[in-house]
Chains A and B, each alone.
Chain A
Amino acid sequence: MELIAVNLIDGLVTGLLLFMLSAGLTLIFSMMGVLNFAHASFYMLGAYFAFQISVFLGFWMGLLIAPVIVGVLGALVERYGLRRVHQYGHVPELIFTFGLALLIEELVQFIWGKSAMPYEIPEILQFTAFSIAGNAIPAYKIFMIFTSVAIFLVLLYILTRTRVGLIIQAALSYPKTVEALGHNVPLVFMGVFGVGTALAGVAGVIAGPVLSTFPGMAFVLGSIVFVTIVIGGLGSLGGALVASLIIGWLTTFSKAYNVRMEDILNGIGFTTPDPIWDSAWRDLWTLTSPQIADILPYILMVLILVFRPYGLFGKRQA
């Protein structure tokens, strides 16, 4: 029973981290109608910048400065890259972000080399917050939870309660009208893109020390972020949150409990073939849930796309 509580917390951390990435991505999608393949690359840049800053100024300055740099970079990419490609249509836009992801990975290797960086949790957070039945919950995890929840609340407040937020929301749905009212819509788009990438940067800064900072970190997370927002419904912030949490808990629990296919098959009346290594189905029989934990989100996504193409909370057909 205690283990369930521990796994709930672990899954929550994973889910919230995923949410910080998918929140920015889904905002950008609702704005430009295009999936930003390079989103996870900005997450990686966040981690690397924060590492570099932390070498000189310490972790907390990294947390402050790195996302700003990432956001500015993102805004520049939108202004000088995406906006140019936008005129050619959606597919070239998607392909542009795809190429950008490759290029950023190469650049990171060019600058920092190919090994993992020794980016560490700040000493002030290097203690165990509390234990549940011998399972330590590091303070840093609690810090991650609070940071991401705080960011979500701030984002929600800005989007729904402030003037800027209202303009953004309006610009998302009726860009022409908003422009006619005298607002600089391209600037709004650039701003949203910058903020979205900055969010990814924050995720990178706080995930870097625990998930390790290495050139492959964007690739590992890259496609799962899309899966999240597709499951949640493209363009839906709430959907992204729900999908992130579902994926976080789904993968955590299937890794934490060894559900074996053999037990399931036996349970529904099949008998284990003997000897098992001679059977053509041996790979099916020996399957365990941790083996497939990380592909479960993909299965979920394909199922959702087939049966509910607009996702869990999506409003319109993509």
Chain B
Amino acid sequence: MKNTTMRGLSAALAVAISATAVYAENIKIAFIDPLSGPFAATGNQGLATFKFAADELVNKEGGVLDGQNFEIVAFDNKISPKESLIQLQVAIDQGIRFIAQGNSSGVANALTDAIDKHNRRNPDNQVIFLNYAAVDPALTNDKCNFWHFRFDANADIKMDALTDVIAADDGVEKVYIIGQDYSFGKAVAAAAVKFLGEKRPDVEIVGNELHPIGKVKDFTPYARKIMASEADLVITGNWGADMLNLGKSVLENGFEGPIYTYYGAADGITAAFGESGVGSLRVVGEGQINPPVSDRAAAFVTGFKEAYPDTDPAQPRIANVVEMLAKAINEAGTATDMAQVAYALEGMEHDSIWGTKLKMREIDHQIIQDVHIQAHTDDVQFDYDNSGFGLKAEDTVTMAAADAATTCKMKRP
């Protein structure tokens, strides 16, 4: 990251522009995510995965086009929309054409909007937005645009897969839904109500509530309510400290059923749950780490852990981002004409290193892939947080929500 020092300075103050010339043959991807502050652990983990995937999957294989390498340039957005827009401008000034971001749908909303405007206002230096983790459904529905590509399954798709698994369990009678009070938490709750109503109208939703995001110190009262409702299982979209504290509190106060989560692993969460989460905690997500699907996948994880022992490849889809981008650039035959690359990327089909087929839908730029329900267990080959515990795929929904409807009206240049 330190080698961005000189270039960052030059861009901000517009001196010594020639310093970037040394790296001119690299294709640069701007990684705009929190690298300092409370969400830095997740940001740094994504950055490490991007760097490793770019080296391992593209650069060591000979690069793209006529041997150009991928280079990941990190920008710290401090998880602030304002700061992200400043960093976006700095990245564009440095001649970077690919923007990767994932943490916080709020930031993703700001970026997709700004990138759309930038591309309309500056047709000769357009950029592409590689959204690798922001899962607010709106990004590929009402707010979709041609330059945005989402490589994660969105909140609706994940819930669709999750409710498939819940519906298959006849023992489930009562479900409790709890989430953070903001767009994503509400999207999760709405999707859960909708899909459960369709698939298992007999299941009773005994609780559906939102709590203030990042403000709850003690989740005990919520845990009491969940206990009092006699729910069989809990669904939550919580992340970060809210996930950890809710889960711990629920388990501590005697809940024994499964807790289905979106983000209940890695970045310290797996280690903190440890033994107590075994048998309860489930995580819905893509990218099967355990058991490894192939030698190649296992080698990727092993190599990653050697390079970055303190973090985990907990967002496996990043490997897909890098591979599919390389493929699109090769197909388009250019890394400068973004419209060509975007056209190559939409509709692309690809075989992921994680064993699933991938398809980037043309109508809304939402990727379709296998979604797994994974259990928190110590029966794993690759653990998280070096804790001995990790995630193991239990159920798989193949090509989840491949024909889901979208409200996206894509405008193409």
Contact = CB atoms under 8 A, between A and B. Distances in A.
Chain A complexes with chain B: yes
A135 B209 contact: no
A113 B225 contact: no
Interface stretch (A2-10, A31-39, A86-94): A2-10
A220 B244 CA distance: 15
Nearest to B178: A290
B264 to A, nearest CB: 13
A275 B251 CA distance: 38
Given A135-B227, A291-B212, A116 B254 contact: no
Interface in A174-210: 210
Contacts of A212: 241, 244-245, 248, 272
Given A134-B254, A212-B248, A220-B215, A118 B272 contact: yes
B280 to A, nearest CB: 15
B12 interface: no
A133 B111 CA distance: 50
Interface stretch (A71-79, A148-156, A251-259): A251-259
Interface string B330-352: 00000000000000000000000
Interface string B229-257: 00000000000010011001000111000
B228 A290 contact: no
A309 interface: no
A222 to B, nearest CB: 11
Contacts of A131: 254
B65 interface: no
B224 A290 contact: no
A104 to B, nearest CB: 14
B211 interface: yes
Interface in B379-413: 385, 387
A244 interface: no
Contacts of B15: none
A6 B267 contact: no
Interface string A4-23: 00110010011000000000
A135 B253 contact: yes
B217 interface: yes
A116 B268 CA distance: 6
A219 B44 CA distance: 22
A223 to B, nearest CB: 11
A136 B222 contact: no
Contacts of A135: 224, 227-228, 253-254
Interface in A74-119: 109, 113-118
Interface in B22-39: 36-39
Residue among B37, B221, B227 with max Cβ neighbours from chain A (10 Å): B221
B194 to A, nearest CB: 15
Contacts of B225: 255-256, 258
A288 interface: yes
Given A116-B244, A291-B211, A255 B254 contact: no
A115 B254 contact: no
B181 interface: yes
A233 interface: no
Residue among B224, B227, B248 with max Cβ neighbours from chain A (10 Å): B224
A221 B387 CA distance: 29
Given A255-B211, A290-B222, A211 B254 contact: no
Contact of B217 (A211, A256, A288): A211
A215 interface: yes
A134 B227 contact: yes
B218 A138 contact: no
A114 B241 CA distance: 11
A7 B224 contact: yes
A115 B271 CA distance: 10
B269 A116 contact: yes
A238 interface: no
A214 interface: yes
B222 A220 contact: no
Contact of B272 (A116, A136, A293): A116
Interface in A229-260: 251-253, 255-256, 258
B241 A116 contact: yes
B210 A291 contact: yes
Contacts of B209: 258, 288, 290
B38 A255 contact: no
Contacts of B40: 109, 114
B210 to A, nearest CB: 6
B355 interface: no
Contacts of B220: 10, 13-14, 252
Contact of B228 (A3, A214, A220): A3
A294 interface: yes
Contact of A214 (B210, B211, B241, B252): B241
A14 B38 CA distance: 24
B274 interface: yes
A13 B26 CA distance: 58
B86 interface: no
B224 A3 contact: yes
Given A118-B274, A134-B227, A294 B254 contact: no
A165 interface: no
B227 A115 contact: no
A128 interface: yes
B253 A290 contact: no
Nearest to A136: B254
B245 A118 contact: no
A220 B224 contact: no
Contacts of A295: 212
B41 interface: yes
A284 to B, nearest CB: 15
B303 interface: no
14 contacts: A7-B224, A10-B218, A10-B220, A14-B217, A109-B36, A115-B267, A118-B387, A136-B253, A136-B254, A216-B38, A220-B215, A251-B221, A290-B210, A295-B212
Closest 6 CB pairs of A and B: A115-B268, A255-B221, A136-B254, A116-B268, A256-B221, A114-B40
Given A14-B218, A255-B211, 14 more contacts: A14-B217, A109-B40, A115-B41, A117-B268, A118-B272, A135-B254, A136-B254, A214-B38, A216-B38, A216-B241, A252-B221, A256-B225, A290-B221, A290-B222
